[in-house]
Amino acid sequence: MTSTLGFAILAVLARGDRTGYDIAAVMRRPVGYFWTAGHSQIHTELQKLRIAGLVGYEAAHGPGPQDKKVYHLTPEGSAKLREWITKPPRERPERDELVLKTYAAWLAEPGLVRQMFTDQLAAHEARLTEYERAEASFGEPPPFGDPRFGNYATLLCGLGYERHRAEWCRWMIAQLGTGS
């Protein structure tokens, strides 16, 4: 059974052959807007995908003494990815640490809670600025069928999320007032 990370890697490889390092870079941006993975997770998952016959690789001359592996999607991997795309996503529990902390915030000193939300607001506003710059770089939304369509659509989702979180942080800061 292929993991969600495995499908994320297959989706990256559907856009072109890449080394493990290149996959990790794409997993930081733009995939990192909605799905994250570390280099060691990616390497482990690539081996599972290779054993399952969903990806292959070609050895190419690398910058160091060893050859690098350039991974590609196999026809089986492409078919598995196409099948997975239209299946409903699995239900998964929400795990939002900030919301959990908010649930228990009445136990903490209000000034410290307010500072935590002020810091969170700054982080969400910074990401919002980054996402707005990325959106502006598109000009017009790419048409469906263009691989960049997925980049744009997920970016719009990220914009909505960051706007919502920033608004919620502002509301929390207002609720906590300016006193102790």
Judged by DSSP in three states, 89 sits in coil
Per-residue model confidence (pLDDT) at position 179: 58
Task: Check whether the bond before 30 is cis (ω within 30° of 0).
Answer: yes
Q: Tell me: the pLDDT tens digits for 31-89?
A: 777 778 888 999 999 999 999 999 999 999 888 888 899 999 999 999 999 999 999 99
Evaluate if residue 96 carries a pLDDT over 70.
yes
Which residue pairs from 56-65 have beta carbons closer than 8 angstroms and sit at least 24 positions apart in sequence? 58/17
Q: Which of the four pLDDT bands, split at 50, 70 and 90, describes residue 94?
A: confident
- Cα diameter, the chain: 63
Q: Tell me: the pLDDT tens digits for 104-146?
A: 999 999 999 999 999 999 999 999 999 999 999 999 999 999 9
Domains of the chain, by residue range, sit at: 4-85, 97-176
Per-residue model confidence (pLDDT) at position 35: 79
Task: Tell me the C-alpha distance between 10 and 16, whole Å.
Answer: 10
Hey, what are 78's tokens?
């492409």
CA-based nearest residue to 30, from 142, 140, 136, 154: 154
Spell out the CATH class of 4-85.
mainly alpha
> Is the model more confident about 18 or about 39?
18
Per-residue model confidence (pLDDT) at position 63: 82
